[in-house]
Structure 1
Amino acid sequence: MALNKLTPASFNRKLQIGTTKTVQNPINGTSKQTFISQFSLYCAPYTRSIAYSYQLTAEQLEQVVVIIRHNPKVYEGIKCQYQGNLYSVVNDSMDDSNSYLTYDYLTLKLVTKGA
């Protein structure tokens, strides 16, 4: 999706940004990671071309790329919830132009349980 084709209607998916916290179950003593949302914003899903997809490794194919309006609160390593899954931002490709409206491409990696 080229930047000049982005419209306000393109930003139709919600992205929850936050942290994870380990919560212990008082009954059986087990602990699990729980997502704590700090804020949410709308994003546009990015669709890769078929030619570009052929160049990616299997791990890169599992990653999701979304586009957001530039937000300094979003950075590499922060956790987010998208489409019901927990992700970590592994790359924040910021638009560093001096334009009025800038966009960031976020590469999201699925957080696997137990990792």
Structure 2
Amino acid sequence: MALNKLTPASFNRKLQVGTTKTVQNPINGTSKQSFVITASLWCAPYTRAINKSYQLTAEQLDEVVVVIRHNSTVKEGIKCQYQGNLYSVVNDSMDDSNSYLAYDYLTLKLVTKGV
């Protein structure tokens, strides 16, 4: 998806940004990890070209790329909920050009433990 093809209608998915915190159950005293939302953003799913899909390694199969309007608070290592799954931002291709239409490409890796 080229930058000039992004329209407001492209940003049709929710990306919830936050942190994980340990929450204790007051009834039985057990604790578990819980996702706490700090921000909710609209994002556009980024579709890889078919030739790029063939070049993915096994580790990259559980990664997705989304595009957001530039947001300096979203950085590598932060947790996100997207399409009902918990992800960690492993790469932020940030556009810090102060342009009117600046976009960040976020590579999200599926978190398989913790929540």
TM-score range, shorter chain: over 0.9
User: Residues 19-61 of structure 1, C-alpha deviation per residue, up to 9 Å, x if partnerless?
Assistant: 1101122333332110100111100000011100111101112
TM-score, length of structure 2 as denominator length = 0.92
Q: What is the aligned partner in structure 1 of residue 23 from structure 2?
A: 23
Task: Kindly report which structure 2 residues correspond to 1:63-82, keeping only aligned pairs within 5 A, or say none.
Answer: 63-82=63-82
Look up the equivalent residue of 1:91 and give its one-letter code.
N
Task: Kindly report which structure 2 residues correspond to 1:1-115, keeping only aligned pairs within 5 A, or say none.
Answer: 1-114=1-114
Pairwise CA RMSD:
1.5
Give the ranges of 4+ consecutive aligned residues of structure 1 lying more than 4 Å apart after TM superposition.
Answer: none
Show structure 1 runs of 5+ residues with no match. none
Identity of aligned residues (%): 84
Show structure 2 runs of 5+ residues with no match. none
Q: Which moved more, 1:17-26 or 1:70-79?
A: 17-26
- What is the number of residues matched between the two proteins? 115
TM-score, length of structure 1 as denominator length = 0.92
